[in-house]
Structure 1
């Protein structure tokens, strides 16, 4: 149990550490999907809770608005977010929340130790059911900001969680009933990013300026996307070499890249096979990292280490 919890914490922590951010107040962005007329599901993340989540909703397409009101700590400052998942067969939402609670506490009821650099050799992958349950996606927001994504919720019990069983924000149960309306509005995407094993495929290059991205998982395993700025000239090998310094403190970092040079632009929650989310970005010219760190179902190796990583240039 402890090894599984620490493994999940590690891959989420690696993802977060790869996208440090400068500290500072930020303004909430306007809802880029307002003209679609979709219902909004707004939640606020604090240091200790996920607030505002409704107990019930009807099935359908929603704009999920995530406001990050957590305290910005010492650098690296990272985004915080939420994702939707359904309980595995034989579990209720309450059962799953209780399961996460046992992973977040030690044998004496206190907080479990957080995964640390150099601990990777002791860890196993996520529970087997993680690769089987529906994961509807979600979004992360920077401290002081609101981020938006469009996602679909089917009927059933859902758990809205911080995607880290060690997080101090308890998951929230949401019951979704009924059937999704026919002919729901579809956001008009400027770019579609398709995730498979193990690659990102863009139907056209990213461009400078505001744009809507459709992110779809056409693979068999869960995937997520972190989109971050990197210095011009950065290569995939540079990023992988840098990430190894977290996994192994004795590893040598690349000479031209540090965590402090990377800035989070977008960070999605996990999407299971066949799921699409839509989100917006406003890009400047430069170089950008696309990466997924979900552990491979068979080997436990992060997807990035198996090729699910790319560096692209926005002219």
Structure 2
């Protein structure tokens, strides 16, 4: 090798190293931008003293929402996006008005469904820029609320791959790929009304008709489902979807929606939104 060629090679090596390092940094930044952002919500306390701990701000984009329930009872952490100058108090009034109309300024939805005390629930969804209220409530109590501002952001990647799927629309559910054990399930609202999915583990020998009769009687008599085998999603608007982490057992489940139409009226279960699914 000639002396001039050796000089060229020696000069080129540092440049190649620098370029490689630069590419590595770019790849690292690209990889990080493709990861979902993280939003952590915590509930603590008991009864009327329950509090929600929520960051003041978050960035828009695909976000993993982690709800840590440190409260003494089962809770949820559901999100609604506000339009106009409405407040958290306005949201609490709408939620407390069972069967009442749901105004158009209350949009999107999402968050984490029911989580038992001492447990953590996670979902991944697309958060849009705007003003949000996080709500958490038990039956017959005023919701606990906290405010969240989602600012413009970049990245966040795509929703994680799900092996199972639950689709909700007026007034039925369809499912595919559900199995026993821990799994990621995509919950999608393909309808126009607000929907959620409450999964009841049906007791042996019982049918969806037994569940419907139980709900119509407002819970009179022994429940035809295993209370410890339940799961629930948050309420989401038409066109929304989220990926939820579920741990299912083999057997029959009944999927039920208790949300009313936006104009108000009976819960969707009264319109036949109760479907049976078998988890192998």
TM-score by length of 1: 0.69
Extract unaligned runs of 5+ from structure 1: 1-35, 73-78, 105-113, 115-122
**CA contact under 8 A between 2:164 and 2:177: conserved in structure 1?**
yes
Q: 1:178-257 counterparts in 2 under 5 A?
A: 178-181=152-155, 184-202=157-175, 204-246=176-218, 253=221
* 2:55 is the counterpart of 1:66: no
Counterpart Cα distance in 1 of 2:92 and 2:85: 14
Whole-angstrom distance in 1 between the partners of 2:178 and 2:165: 10
Superposition pairs for residues 65-214 of structure 1, below 5 Å?
65-72=66-73, 79-88=74-83, 90-92=84-86, 96-100=87-91, 125-129=99-103, 133-162=107-136, 167=141, 170-181=144-155, 184-202=157-175, 204-214=176-186
Q: Counterpart in 1 of 2:8?
A: none
Secondary structure of the corresponding residue to residue 261 of structure 1? strand
Q: 2:232 aligns with which of 251, 262, 267?
A: 267
Q: 1:185/1:103 Cα in 2 relative to 1: closer, same or farther (>3 Å)?
A: closer
| Larger-gyration structure (1/2) | 2
Retained in 1: the 8 A contact 2:203–2:225? no
| Cα displacement (A) at 1:305 | 1.6
2:276 pairs with 1:311:
yes
Name the count of aligned residue pairs.
244
**Whole-Å Cα distance in 1 between the matches of residues 186 and 264 of structure 2?**
29
Deviates more, 1:126-135 or 1:57-66: 126-135
Cα distance, 1:152–1:165 mapped onto 2, change above 3 Å: farther
Comparing both structures, which one devotes a greater share of its residues to strand?
Answer: 2
Q: In the alignment, is the contact (CA less than 8 A) between 1:265 and 1:281 conserved in 2?
A: no
Distance in 2, Cα, partners of 1:143 & 1:192: 26
Q: CA deviation at 1:173?
A: 1.0
Paired with 2:153 and 2:212, the residues of 1 have a C-alpha distance of 44
